[in-house]
Amino acid sequence: MALEDDHEVNGSVLVKGIEEMLANPVLFARYASHLELRSYQVEVACAIVHSVREGLGLSFVVMFPRQSGKNEVQAQLEAYLLALYSQKEVEIVKISPTWKPQSINAMRRLERVLKDNPVVESWQKESGYIYRVGSARMFFFSGSPEANIVGATASLLLEVDEAQNIRIEKFDTEIAPMAASTHATRVFWGTAWTSQTLLARELRAAREAEAQDGMRRTFVLTADDVAKVVPAYGRHVAEQVARLGRQNPTIKTQYFSEEIDAESGMFPAERVLLMKGSHAWQTVPHPGCLYAFLLDVAGEDTSSGGETGEQKRDSTVLTIVEVIAGKTGDLLNRPSYRAVQHKSWTGCKHTRLYAEIKALAEIWQPRAVVVDATGLGAGLASFLESALSGRVRPFLFNTASKSKLGWDFLALIDSGRYQEPIPHDALTEVLITEFWRQLAFCQYEIRPGAEKRLAWGVPDGTRDSANGELVHDDMVISAALTARLDAETWQPTAPTLVVQAADPLKEMDKGF
């Protein structure tokens, strides 16, 4: 479609006729909002408007990478349709995963487009969640599981934003019927996540429909597509890839529209390869190096009959890492971590653990000591805090904190910032082999919901089919605590230099 050039009169853009501005959403954005939609935004907006105007009732899936203009094209499209149908009793419904902040932010974006718009003569906000232009209305609702939204009608358009975070049963029972009576056009906006989400289901359905009639319904872009239009965006994504790694779930889903399985092995072969370092196992610290301790605490053996096979697997594990500070000016400027030693205690009394860890700290002089302070670990963490003043960082495990730790640990690995050492004898070979074995059995599941909670670890009761032994994840948890170290400042320190100032009283004496 050829668009006319702007004509300026007295330094301002000549206002086109209202009918011409409403001819399509591209002209509307250009002349009403002084915004030039990007080529990929134009394709989406025009396809949706065509379905609405012709009453086709198509179901679209739009997957844009993060920060590539999805929200802007939504607001322009919504304002355009309200203006276009302002003389008719029509309703648009938009569902977001949460009311605050997502629905509220969506309303603010629409309001920004409506303000000072020469096409929209007047608009009103009703009941705090309805926008009216003439006779046309747009309703904003939360799609959270507890929200009661039954009864609304999307006679013109039904939008589901961040559809990957809307539960399928919520959509099927409460949201989908809104568009049923008029067979209204539906749009599912979002970014990729797992193959089990509402967005993924609708994407498969839309592609099947495309294959049958040839009408385009899916618009799935990657960061590379956006970078061709916006080179600065390509630089932004390159920085994110360098920080998190190309195989990181966040990078794959939010920037390259690649689905990840909801439940699978957490450490596939390519990720394990990134963890294998070329440095040697250390028995003593090297001068001038920075170190940190990561301690996963197990319960102590309180039995009188000695260790059983089950208890033997419940171990406290210490991982010692060398911290290599990031260089100023580097793309990342973040530290890297090289595990240089693992130690394991099975069924050990915490009083003994305290003494041994304190002795190791005197040798290695760790800058930070991250301690699992959950449950029985709280007492040990408290004793260590007293002995290693200012250096202990207690870590409390719960659903949210373990999820974040898992995501952060994957980011370290995928960006090449965590590596394991090469064993140098039979004993260290046993420990490293056990570490790799635990990784192989570690699973993860992404729980439903906008929080994207990561449940991860070796499932309880898992046994190695090769020998029938129970497999735990104490070494993996200990290593994962490394992610907590990113919150620290890792600049080398130097001895304090004290400059003696002149004594003013002695100086005064010299004057007499």
Q: How many domains does the chain have?
A: 2
pLDDT score recorded for residue 505: 41
| CATH number of the structural domain spanning residue 206 | 3.40.50.300
The mean pLDDT value for 179-198 works out to 94
Q: Are residues 176 and 306 in the same domain?
A: no
Q: Are residues 95 and 191 in the same domain?
A: yes
Domain assignment present for residue 331? The answer is yes
- Identity (one letter) of the amino acid at 398? N
pLDDT score recorded for residue 119: 86
Q: Identify the residue with better confidence: 455 or 451.
A: 455
pLDDT score recorded for residue 8: 45
> Taking the mean position of all CA atoms in its chain, how far away is CA 473?
24
The mean pLDDT value for 400-421 works out to 96
Q: Are residues 26 and 168 in the same domain?
A: yes
Token digits for 399? 């659903």
| Residue 201 parent element (H or E) | helix 198-213
Which of 66-75, 116-125, 166-175 is least confident? Answer: 116-125
Tell me: pLDDT of 509 over 80.
no
Closest CA to 264 of 463, 69, 456: 456
Domain assignment present for residue 65? The answer is yes
Q: How confident is the model at residue 291 (pLDDT cuts 50, 70, 90)?
A: very high
pLDDT score recorded for residue 491: 67
Q: Are residues 366 and 429 in the same domain?
A: yes
| CATH number of the structural domain spanning residue 308 | 3.30.420.240
The mean pLDDT value for 44-67 works out to 97
pLDDT score recorded for residue 330: 52
Q: How confident is the model at residue 253 (pLDDT cuts 50, 70, 90)?
A: very high
Contact 237, 222 (CB under 8 A): no
Give dist(CA 163, CA 102) in Å, integer: 12
Q: Identify the residue with better confidence: 140 or 5.
A: 140
Tell me: pLDDT of 1 over 60.
no
Q: What's the whole-number average pLDDT of the chain? A: 88
Q: How confident is the model at residue 347 (pLDDT cuts 50, 70, 90)?
A: confident
Give dist(CA 60, CA 232) in Å, integer: 28
Q: Are residues 136 and 213 in the same domain?
A: yes
Tell me: pLDDT of 404 over 80.
yes
Tell me: pLDDT of 502 over 60.
no
Q: Which residue has the tokens 């003013």?
A: 504
Q: Are residues 212 and 273 in the same domain?
A: no
Q: Are residues 102 and 202 in the same domain?
A: yes
Q: Identify the residue with better confidence: 414 or 303.
A: 414
Q: Are residues 327 and 437 in the same domain?
A: yes
Domain assignment present for residue 61? The answer is yes
Q: Which residue has the tokens 């232009």?
A: 133
How crowded is residue 172: how many other Cβ atoms within 10 Å of its Cβ?
A: 12
Tell me: pLDDT of 334 over 70.
yes
| Residue 9 parent element (H or E) | strand 8-9
Q: Are residues 29 and 88 in the same domain?
A: yes
Closest CA to 142 of 89, 94, 72: 94
Q: Are residues 209 and 300 in the same domain?
A: no
Closest CA to 221 of 210, 213, 230, 232: 230
End position of a domain, from candidates 190, 221, 252: 221
Domain assignment present for residue 407? The answer is yes
pLDDT score recorded for residue 94: 98
pLDDT in tens, 217-232: 999 999 999 999 999 9
Q: Are residues 195 and 138 in the same domain?
A: yes
The mean pLDDT value for 281-297 works out to 96
pLDDT in tens, 97-147: 999 999 999 999 999 999 978 888 789 999 999 999 999 999 999 999 999
pTM, two decimals, is 0.74
Token digits for 200? 């993924």
Domain assignment present for residue 230? The answer is no
Q: Is the dihedral of CA 128, 131, 134, 135 positive or negative?
A: negative
Contact 387, 378 (CB under 8 A): no
Token digits for 117? 């718009």
pLDDT score recorded for residue 60: 98
Domain assignment present for residue 122? The answer is yes
The mean pLDDT value for 350-363 works out to 95
pLDDT score recorded for residue 326: 77
The mean pLDDT value for 386-403 works out to 96
Give dist(CA 31, CA 40) in Å, integer: 19
Domain assignment present for residue 458? The answer is no
Range of the domain at 176: 16-221
Q: Are residues 212 and 272 in the same domain?
A: no
pLDDT score recorded for residue 500: 52
The mean pLDDT value for 71-93 works out to 97
| Residue 435 parent element (H or E) | helix 426-441
pLDDT score recorded for residue 344: 95
Domain assignment present for residue 322? The answer is yes
pLDDT score recorded for residue 265: 87
Tell me: pLDDT of 508 over 80.
no
